[in-house]
Chain A
Amino acid sequence: MISQLAVQGAQMLVVLLLAPLLIGFVRKVKARLVRRQGPSVIQPYRDLVRLMRKEVVLADNASWLFRVTPYLIFAATWVAAALVPTFATGLEFSWTADLIVIVALLGSARFFQALAGMDVGTSFGGIGASREVMIASLAEPAMLLIVFSLALVAGATQLSTVAAFMGSPEVGLRVSLGMSLIALVMVAIAENARIPVDNPATHLELTMVHEAMILEYSGRHLAMIELATFLKLLLYMSLIACVFLPWGLYGASAGPKALAVGAAAYLCKLAVLAIVLAVFETAVAKMRVFRVPDFLGAALMLALLGTLLLFVSRSL
């Protein structure tokens, strides 16, 4: 019991501490890929600390909602991230929320972020919010369909169960799972505002989506939101990791040795995924905002196909 609580707590801290590092690593790799030195891996930590120190410049008619939102976003994302198995399954509170809930938690984070974007009353906030909800309105159903197909395979929406099932040999190779994986990756890219859907580094207003929403944020609020976005990336990566690379995952009750192995495996997976992401991002160019629906529509169709093909592949 206590040990499991400890594991759960450890997980929460780990994700919190690991998230900026992941971003830093991705940026580093991207820089190296274009032959730049690039900032150091721990630069994100420094940014966060600096933001913390800065004063907050608040727009004149920003309401209480604007000031509360960063904490809500951060909290929701953190809870979600803390409930995804990273280095161990069957966490103490994993039954609090299954995969659907995790998706929904991210959804509520986005909900408030969009609202905050509209609070100040500039057109940029509006642009960001409207584009964000458009993307979300396609990404969320795609995500839920992916959840469906996973759940229909594993017979559960409970992540630990799914992960355990995916680890077990009876899974075999399935077309629909492959489709779900591709769809999941596409959704993850969109959700995390990565290239080609959105460019986290841009500051040209008309191309921004995520950045436009948080344009008015500064100081500690911005820090919170940044941290939340880092967490989100980590979350999706660990999700992909635990569902599609379920090796080296042990129950939380397993001994410290096993946990250590799990942690090591987890780090390797993250590293691999980060490198893949970096390579992908450097390889492709950002698409126009109104091409995004096609991109996500493809993801949606893939996910749906995956769900429907389940019956076929199962009957084989």
Chain B
Amino acid sequence: MNGLTFDIAHLLAGSLVLISFMMLYQDRLFALINVFALHAVVLALSVAWQAYIQDAHHLYITAAIALVFKAIVIPVGLHRIIQRLGIHRDIETAVGIGPTMLAGIGLVTLSMVLMLRVTPEADPLAREDLAFALSIILLGLLVMVTRRNAVSQVVGFMSLENGLVLAATGAKGMPLVVEISVAFSILIAFIVIGVFLFRIRERFDSVDIGALDDYRGERR
């Protein structure tokens, strides 16, 4: 392959990681969602690019899904929810921004270290892609565990899933990619609906566990 394609792919993947960091940095919900929308757009671009260089046309579908569903539908929906629940003012990080960023940097290094152990015979593009994907996934998890708010945890999960799609599309000729991305979109839809249905404000836990224990007899 020529350098350019590689560089573009590299650039897009790298910018995804960057955007993940931006997510870590956001502590307002609206901002977070907007950043995520950006994340989704860049993902769509990178997928489309992969589709182009691998001329695997089914990947365009994935790109489209990413663009339409993740960059537009979900963010809008989440905006709605936030207004409904009236939590748009919340500052909802469980851990301070600084430590989170440090942790994020640590995670990225970790994933780099892991992936660079991979023997160079493997397709270099795949290698880089994997390194970035792994960092995105870990950062997504980090978002999930450092945020109190259900919505932002959904966002974290979605960014994690973006990392998966990135990895999947980066893997040349991997079957089922489209199906998987569809499946995941449905999964996320479920989660969002769940958040909406159960009026989950603070955490995923619909109420304080303690209240349940009496029923369960698990109270000590």
Instruction: Tell me if chains A and B make direct contact, with any CB pair below 8 A.
Output: no
Chain A residues within 8 Å of B, Cβ to Cβ: none
Chain B residues within 8 Å of A, Cβ to Cβ: none
